[in-house]
Structure 1
Amino acid sequence: MSLAEFLDPLQRPLVTVLDTPVSWTEVLGFGSGALCVWLVARQHLANWPIGIANNLFFILLFTQAGLYADAGLQVVFIALAAYGWWTWTHGGGPGLALPVRRTTRTEWGRLFAAGAVGTLGLTLLLSRATDSTVPFWDALTTGLSLMATYGQCRKRLESWWLWIAADVVYIPLYAHKGLYLTSLLYAGFLALCLVGLREWSRDRAGVRRQPREVNVV
């Protein structure tokens, strides 16, 4: 069986939303993505393998939709997930979870510099080398998502604000591309980000003062 034959069932319409067919890929991406963000808000290690599965579904979905930067972004997310998984289990010391911290000024400077350069570079690349109809917005969400994911890997509180900014752009972007279920998913992500921001803020403020064991089940 070829790869195309294997993936074909995932690309078939499952339901119709607003006269637009929704594939198995988008439904599975919806479910795994929502579960992943909820687990991140709970600081649960299972968010990393669930997130990797979500990335694989989205690689296929975004390639089909012509969102090439977002498709390529998923590959980077997989690599960052491996890094974040290791950091969460080893960064807090033996048997302890990595604590929530604030982003330093130095980190902010590096993140914004990398985000600006990355967004500009991707915009030019997508404009010249692909048939993307939304090169800037595709590049901008890619840059914001990478900045947020780095912060999430290091358990930086402000990573939630970066995710919120990215989701505010993602919601209309995916609706514009006809990915209505994914647009709805990102509206859910936005709500979950607010929950995550609240939970991590409480953790940072010392509501749970005792060191927590790594949550693996």
Structure 2
Amino acid sequence: MNIPQWALDWSGSLCVVVSLVYLWRKSSTYWHWSNLSLLPYFLLFASSAQWMLAGLQITYLLFGIHGLYLWYLESRKSKGEIRFNEPLWYGVTWAASLAIFAYTVAVTDFREAWNWVQFASVTLALVANFGTTRKRTWSWPVWMLVNAVSAVYFQHLGLWAQFGLQFVLAALSVWGWREWARQDEKVARVATV
């Protein structure tokens, strides 16, 4: 493919920013925009042999499809309409994601010191994804760590849109963290009434 890296970089970044607006609202539209960003990002990272980040895009797709369905199930569960086997549903995606992660780690040359930075970024992103699929407020500070580590890595690669996006995403994560904490407080107040 002869798609310029900047086009892949910017199109994926735009989708991510739009997705975050919906994530703050805990709207399932978040998953659609997030999933849309994965193709340009996969192509970007695969074309430069950044295998852990390319594999992470496949993992994100699993989380995206899975997260969309789980948010639907969780919504029905909170209304008392259904019960579902949460450990099974969450476990399947985690098993697949960890298998992808193990494969990408296996094909990565760790003699290259920067691949350890990539490893840290991807590991933290998996933890943050787990929290996001469960709508856990603590996922936001973990995303901020992902942004900090990723900014250093993308600066090294010369992916300037990705580098700049990490600062935007970190700032948006602060807002998301505050919004989810506010929603958590509201739910706690209603529960005590």
CA–CA distance in 2 between the matches of 1:47 and 1:205? 22
Measure, in 1, the Cα distance between the counterparts of 2:8 and 2:29.
Answer: 21
Greater relative CO (CA pairs within 8 A, separation 6+): 1
Equivalent runs, 1:22-101 vs 2, <5 Å: 23-93=6-76
- Give the aligned length: 174
Structure 1's unaligned 5+ residue stretches are 13-21, 97-110, 212-217
Structure 1 distance, partners of 2:101, 2:183, is: 32
Q: Would you say the 8 A contact 1:70–1:138 is kept in 2?
A: yes
How far is 1:207 from its partner? Answer: 6.6
Where does structure 2 lack aligned partners over 5 or more consecutive residues?
80-93
Please give the residue correspondences for 1:1-217 in structure 2 after superposition, counting only pairs within 5 Å: 4=1, 8=2, 11-12=3-4, 23-93=6-76, 125-127=107-109, 134-206=114-186
Per-residue CA distance 1:56-113 (angstroms, 9 max, x = gap): 11001112233210111000110011111011122132685xxxxxxxxxxxxxx9xx
Structure number with the higher strand fraction is 1
Alpha-carbon distance change, 23 to 61 in structure 1, aligned in 2, over 3 angstroms:
same
Conserved in 2, the CA contact under 8 Å of 1:148 and 1:160?
yes
Q: Quick one: percent identity of the two aligned structures?
A: 21
1:146-194 alpha-carbon deviations (Å, 9 max, x no partner) = 1111110010111111111111101121011010011111111101110
